[in-house]
Amino acid sequence: METRTLILTLPALAGMWSASCVAAQHDYAYTTNVRLSDGRALQCAVNEVLPADTPAMVLSTREQTEADVLATQRLRLLAGPHSDYPTPYTAPIVRCRNAG
């Protein structure tokens, strides 16, 4: 009887372990689409690398600042008003390319 309970418990434990590993993925690394005020659509990688086939764009300082603010909105919501510095939440790396 104890062996049968153990056999039934092991798959449940394995399922919980695999679910916790999936949930442990970092929420501070993502890709998002943003639209600048001039109408240009960009795909920005936050704390991730862009695919090697498309290099990052050269943007003006104003465009880069606008893209950074729009792309990191999710991080500001996750980190809240108080967070240690530097962390991936408070000092993100943003790389953008044309979204199309």
pLDDT digits (tens, 9 = 90+) for 26-82: 889 999 999 999 999 999 999 998 777 777 778 999 999 999 999 999 998 888 878
Question: Using CA atoms in the order 15, 20, 22, 26, what is the torsion angle rounded to 10 degrees?
Answer: 180
* Nearest by Cα to 58 from 76, 70, 40: 40
Q: What is the pLDDT of residue 64?
A: 94
Examine residue 3 and state whether it is found in any structural domain, yes or no.
no
Classify residue 34: in a domain, yes or no.
yes
Q: Which domain holds residue 86?
A: 27-98
- Whether 42 is covered by a domain: the verdict is yes
24 token code pair: 């442990």
Domain count, the chain: 1
Helices (H), ranges, the chain: 2-23, 61-71, 73-79
pLDDT over threshold 50, residue 6: no
Asked whether residue 86 is assigned to any structural domain, the reply reads: yes
In-domain check, residue 20: no
Give the global pTM.
0.68
Residue 90 pLDDT greater than 90, yes or no: no
Q: Which of 64, 61, 62 is nearest to 94 (CA)?
A: 64
Burial class (CB in 10 A: 0-12, 13-18, 19+), 74: middle
